[in-house]
Amino acid sequence: MKTIIRARGKDETEIFVECEESGALREVSEFFTFFANGYKFVPSYRNKLWDGKIRLFNSRDNTLPRGLLYHLSEFCKLREYEFETSLEVPPVKPAQVSEFLDSLELSSGGAQIQARDYQVAAFAHGVSNRRAVLVSPTGSGKSLIIYLLLRWALLERLQFDGLRAIVIVPTTSLVEQLFKDFCDYSSGDSSFEVESLVHRIYSGKEKEMASARVVITTWQSAIKMGPKWFQEFGCVIGDEAHQFKAASLVKIMGYLTKAHMRIGTTGTLDGTQVNRLVLEGCFGPVYQVTTTRELIAADTLAQLKINVLALKYPDAVRKGLGKMEYAAELDFIVSYRPRNNFIVNLAIDQPGNTLVLFNYVEKHGKPLHDLIKEKLAGSGRNLYFVSGCVETDERERIRTIMETETGAIVVASMGTFSTGINIRNLHNIVMASPTKSQIRLLQSIGRGLRKSDDGRGTTVFDLADDLSWRKRKNYTLAHAVERINIYARESLDYKIHEVPLS
């Protein structure tokens, strides 16, 4: 007798998985069970209170995140089980996509524009499937894709249901930037008044939505709203969606039980299977829009050159350090005066606008800023400092100023300037702090991928710290090797240079 697995809708967040054979449901549960990243270091695992596994299938009520419907179908194919569901969405015809896009008066900087081919393809995929994670690198124009999806959602169904659309982003700076982008795209379209139709919510902003049809908010503000508040929305778009693996963001997505359209956008994923499936459970299957290499080759993005600077510490320093824990190694690196002097000289010596990215505000960012300030005294060059302590409006002002500068230096924390911030006129990036995160690395590099007005490319300086001694290898050097592997995998142009530190 043929095993039949059926999927039916519970709401827009979850589906029921049904089968008369309990053994098959146990197989489903196992198929969607994974070890969490770094589970061996979690106290609850060490104390034997948790087995280290994430279970995406809820065996208590036989439910599965609705975005994993495709993977359930694939599971049935692998097991040669019969799969039945009525949850598939009828595709949108190409003629409908073309007609809709032709009806929009798109503009940028006051001039009429048209969406690029890959943006049109991403939009068509999103509206046809209603659920997707759109992976498109920094500089590819994700904000325009989001704008097109919102315009479609408002026209297609939300107005009839009386529901709104919500866009969730990780930072207040991105709220303001996205709002400005929408104003730019619609400046020649009198049918879409951004000021009245789009409302922003974050700390210090009015929470009442009034007659707004679209809400842009941070997840930190959204999580404070009760479950009932989320019933107002029939469409959700999560920008920088790779962060939606966090428990609070999964919780938000669980509240959006009426959101039939769910689109995540991100520049990159972290490469782990479990995080990808959590993300797909929230939104839907991953769709690769385009790649950084393709955009550079097409001259859509700036030419990028990566210089990996292998900092060779003096033998006496390396020998005397011994085996250090990771945190102690980082503390030593960011406080080592010759290294900081090298960063300062490197930043000042580069022509054009330069971004210096750091991780630690008090023990690294501020000392670097003070050293650069001292050395720039009387030069006439502008220096800016950005961290989470700097108000959103001031960060936005600095970002805007940079577009008209010719030799400015911005010392900024990775947390504020590595994610989603558009800087058009950027020529150099100095990565002053070590990182092993693929997402943070590629997004930091992405700050320099937008083409400058002068057509110049962007140079990235990636600092790799060699504190090894004989057979002992240090943590940050191993992380540097991981970054080099990422450059190779992404087909980015990089060279390694050895630099002795005095």
Domain ranges of the chain: 4-85, 94-290, 295-500
Q: Mind listing the pLDDT tens digit for each residue in 127-138?
A: 999 999 999 887
- Judge whether residue 335 has pLDDT over 70: yes
| Beta bridge mates, 357 | 412, 431
Burial 177-192 (b: 16+ CB within 10 A, else e): bbbebbebbbbeeeeb
Beta strand 286-288 with 409-413 is unpaired
Is the separation of the CB atoms in 387 and 413 below 8 Å?
A: yes
* Token code pair at residue 139: 């500089």
Q: Mind listing the pLDDT tens digit for each residue in 485-494?
A: 888 887 888 9
| Three-state secondary structure of 401-470 | HHCCCCCCEEEEEHHHHCCCCCCCCCCEEEECCCCCCHHHHHHHHHCCCCCCCCCCCEEEEEEEEECCEC
CA–CA distance, 316 with 338 (Å, rounded to integer): 14
Q: Per-residue confidence at 452, pLDDT binned at 50, 70, 90?
A: low
Q: Mind listing the pLDDT tens digit for each residue in 172-185?
A: 888 998 999 999 99
CA angle 136, 142, 143 (to 5 degrees): 170
**Domain 94-290 CATH superfamily:** P-loop containing nucleotide triphosphate hydrolases (3.40.50.300)
Same fold, 4-85 and 295-500: no
DSSP 404: T
Q: Is the pTM of this model over 0.85?
A: no
Q: According to the model, what pLDDT value does residue 495 have?
A: 95
Q: According to the model, what pLDDT value does residue 207 have?
A: 79
Q: According to the model, what pLDDT value does residue 105 have?
A: 92
- Judge whether residue 308 has pLDDT over 80: yes
- Judge whether residue 328 has pLDDT over 80: yes
- Judge whether residue 56 has pLDDT over 90: yes
Average pLDDT over residues 448-456: 64
Q: Kindly calculate the radius of gyration of the chain based on its CA atoms and give it in whole angstroms.
A: 24
Question: DSSP per residue over 322-376, as a string?
Answer: -S--HHHHHHHHHH-HHHHHHHHHHHHHSSS-EEEEES-IIIIIHHHHHHHHHHH
- Judge whether residue 158 has pLDDT over 70: no
Q: According to the model, what pLDDT value does residue 448 have?
A: 55
Q: Mind listing the pLDDT tens digit for each residue in 288-305?
A: 999 888 888 887 777 888
Is the separation of the CB atoms in 170 and 240 below 8 Å?
A: yes
- Judge whether residue 73 has pLDDT over 80: yes
Q: Mind listing the pLDDT tens digit for each residue in 104-120?
A: 999 998 899 999 999 99
Q: According to the model, what pLDDT value does residue 417 have?
A: 66
Q: According to the model, what pLDDT value does residue 411 have?
A: 93
Q: Mind listing the pLDDT tens digit for each residue in 258-272?
A: 999 999 998 877 666
Dihedral of CA atoms 128, 148, 267, 431 in degrees, nearest 10, equals 180
- Judge whether residue 279 has pLDDT over 70: yes
Q: Mind listing the pLDDT tens digit for each residue in 365-411?
A: 999 999 999 999 989 899 999 888 878 788 778 877 877 888 899 99
Architecture of domain 295-500: 3-Layer(aba) Sandwich (3.40)
Burial category of 327 from C-beta neighbours within 10 Å (exposed 0-12, middle 13-18, buried 19 and up): exposed
Q: According to the model, what pLDDT value does residue 249 have?
A: 81
CATH 3.40.50.12780 fits 4-85, yes or no: no
Average pLDDT over residues 240-264: 86
Q: According to the model, what pLDDT value does residue 229 have?
A: 94
Q: According to the model, what pLDDT value does residue 439 have?
A: 63
- Judge whether residue 445 has pLDDT over 80: no
Q: According to the model, what pLDDT value does residue 9 have?
A: 94
If you search the block for the tokens 């001292």, which residue do you land on?
374
Q: According to the model, what pLDDT value does residue 98 have?
A: 93
User: What's the order of all strands across the beta sheet hosting 63-65?
Assistant: 63-65, 14-18, 4-9, 82-85
DSSP 227: G
Q: According to the model, what pLDDT value does residue 295 have?
A: 84
When the pLDDT of each residue in the chain is averaged and rounded to a whole number, the result is: 88
Q: According to the model, what pLDDT value does residue 294 have?
A: 86
Instruction: Identify the residue with better confidence: 435 or 194.
Output: 194
CA–CA distance, 39 with 282 (Å, rounded to integer): 22
Least confident of 103-112, 153-162, 234-243, 465-474: 153-162
CA angle 166, 167, 169 (to 5 degrees): 140
Q: Per-residue confidence at 315, pLDDT binned at 50, 70, 90?
A: very high
Average pLDDT over residues 413-442: 74
* Token code pair at residue 500: 């002795």
